[in-house]
């Protein structure tokens, strides 16, 4: 088993926590955009409270470990590795309960190039424990706004994990290479709508990031997931109770750097195979 000390050391050495690659300027800009209710940062969340940029900085300092100093406006941001470990423990506990109760789960990621392996391992372990890993709306078209305008994407599942791929890349390489980075809640809304329309099974838990967790939480479905220092929506959702667990971690490092986190979570959740 990966010990707490070894995990903490890995988090810092790999840049998953401690000093991270996310620029302070980017984090602060994200807080301002969220405060202005910019949909690129609300991720499908309709906050109950009025959150100013100053409020968000205080929240992120508490939940994520970023510097609370508003005068610190440049350089690399930081994530407190102790916050990450504590949140991973809570994340694992929620997975353990899901496995014990054998509830249906839906997993999805807006970071397929980095986090697909992490979530796919969870999907396999939950399935082996008797949970139904849902894949509603497979192949459904989702029109999503991008920096290049609205583009049509297909919703796909790779290893039991929902990802979206631009239609014009369909068939051009392995699925993980076709996955698109997205903050949008539209994919999870499409998946949940399809399940409801077909009278099918709805998830008791959604696991993911970005719009997958915020979008599900906004609709009243329990959600847990990972979030970077520039993803205030996930931590606001946790603070307001629409997301159960937000794990602060850099979400854009090499995919293999997340493997110790996977092993730690599965062991803590009694899901190791």
The pLDDT score that the predictor gives to residue 136 is 96
- Contact present, 115 and 209 (Cβ < 8 Å): yes
- Contact present, 171 and 153 (Cβ < 8 Å): no
* pTM greater than 0.75: yes
Residue 81 has pLDDT above 50, yes or no: yes
The pLDDT score that the predictor gives to residue 173 is 46
The pLDDT score that the predictor gives to residue 205 is 98
Question: 23 - beta bridge partners?
Answer: 76
Which stretches of the chain are assigned E, i.e. beta strand? 18-23, 76-79, 105-108, 141-146, 149-158, 161-166, 205-209, 223-227, 245-248
The pLDDT score that the predictor gives to residue 133 is 97
For the chain, give the longest Cα–Cα distance.
53
The mean pLDDT value for 50-64 works out to 98
The pLDDT score that the predictor gives to residue 174 is 46
The architecture in CATH of the region 4-268 reads 3-Layer(aba) Sandwich (3.40)
Report residue 145's pLDDT band, with 50, 70 and 90 as the boundaries: confident
- Domain positions in the chain: 4-268
**pLDDT digits over 188-218, tens only?**
999 999 999 877 899 999 999 999 999 999 9
Residue 103 has pLDDT above 80, yes or no: yes
The pLDDT score that the predictor gives to residue 21 is 95
The mean pLDDT value for 68-92 works out to 97
Report residue 162's pLDDT band, with 50, 70 and 90 as the boundaries: very high
The mean pLDDT value for 139-160 works out to 91
Residue 8 has pLDDT above 50, yes or no: yes
Regarding predicted confidence, which is higher, 226 or 2?
226
The mean pLDDT value for 7-27 works out to 97
| Average confidence score pLDDT of the chain | 94
Residue 219 has pLDDT above 50, yes or no: yes
Residue 176 has pLDDT above 70, yes or no: no
The pLDDT score that the predictor gives to residue 149 is 83
**Residue environment code for 245-269, b if the CB has 16+ CB neighbours within 10 A, otherwise e:** bbbbbbbebeeebbebbbebbbebb
Report residue 169's pLDDT band, with 50, 70 and 90 as the boundaries: low
């Amino acid at each position: 088993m990966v010990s707490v000390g070894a995990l903490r050391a890995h988090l810092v050495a790999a840049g998953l926590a401690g000093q991270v690659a996310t620029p302070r300027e980017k984090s602060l800009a994200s807080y301002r955009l969220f405060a202005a209710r910019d949909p690129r940062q609300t991720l499908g969340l309709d906050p109950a409270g009025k959150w100013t940029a100053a409020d968000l900085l205080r929240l992120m300092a508490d939940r994520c470990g970023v510097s609370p100093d508003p005068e610190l406006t440049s350089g690399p941001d930081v994530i407190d590795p102790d916050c990450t470990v504590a949140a991973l423990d809570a994340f694992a506990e929620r997975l353990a309960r899901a496995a014990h109760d054998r509830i249906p789960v839906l997993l999805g990621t807006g970071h397929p190039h980095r986090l697909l392996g992490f979530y796919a391992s969870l999907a396999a372990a939950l399935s082996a424990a008797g949970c139904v890993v849902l894949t509603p709306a497979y192949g459904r078209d989702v029109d999503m706004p991008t920096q290049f305008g609205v583009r049509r994407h297909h919703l796909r599942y790779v290893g039991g994990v929902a990802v979206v791929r631009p239609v014009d890349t369909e068939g051009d390489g392995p699925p993980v290479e076709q996955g698109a980075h997205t903050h949008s809640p539209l994919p999870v809304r499409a998946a949940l709508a399809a399940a409801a329309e077909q009278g099918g099974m709805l998830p008791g838990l959604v696991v993911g990031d970005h719009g997958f967790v915020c979008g599900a939480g906004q609709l009243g479905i329990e959600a847990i997931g990972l979030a970077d220092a520039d993803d205030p929506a996930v931590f606001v959702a946790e603070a307001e109770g629409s997301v159960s667990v937000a794990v602060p971690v850099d979400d854009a490092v090499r995919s293999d750097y997340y493997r110790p986190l996977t092993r730690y979570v599965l062991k803590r959740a009694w899901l190791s195979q």
